[in-house]
Amino acid sequence: EVQLVESGGGLVQPGGSLRLSCVGSGFIFSTYEMNWVRQAPGKGLEWISYITSSGSGIYYADSVKGRFTISRDNAKKSLFLQMDSLRVDDTAVYYCAREDSVIDHWGQGTLVTVSS
């Protein structure tokens, strides 16, 4: 069974930083592309970042470009999202999601709250 488990969310002040992690199991992590998708409270889904299986290709949504950094450690079956210069409107549940020509499996999400 494919499982994705996120961690690292919490309360942070505007301008602060946070690092999210996601551990995958039940599949060969190193062969899959991965994404981060977020959902603000009561709002819709927003794709924010993608990374190829090897980590050599990376894309970001304009809303986070220059502030967020996606990375992965295939040996540890882990995906990361370094979030810097956080803003109030970054408050959301952040989902780690596997891609196989389609975003097909999602973690349970981790809540990030940016507030003073």
Partner 1 sequence: QSALTQPASVSGSFGQSITISCTGTSNDVGNYNLVSWYQQHPGKAPQLVIYEGNKRPSGVSDRFSGSKSGNTASLTISGLQAEDEADYYCCSFAVGSTWLFGGGTKLTVL
Contacts to partner 1 by CB under 8 A: 35, 37, 44-47, 50, 57, 59, 61-62, 95, 101-109
In this structure, what DSSP letter does residue 43 have? S
Q: Residue 35 CB: number of other CB atoms within 10 A? A: 19
Q: Residue 11 CB: number of other CB atoms within 10 A? A: 12
CB of 16 to partner 1, least distance (A): 25
**Nearer Cβ to partner 1, position 80 or 105?**
105
**Nearer Cβ to partner 1, position 52 or 82?**
52
CB of 36 to partner 1, least distance (A): 11
**Nearer Cβ to partner 1, position 29 or 50?**
50
Helix (H, G, I), strand (E, B) or coil at 90: helix
User: Which residue do the tokens 């942070």 mark?
Assistant: 12
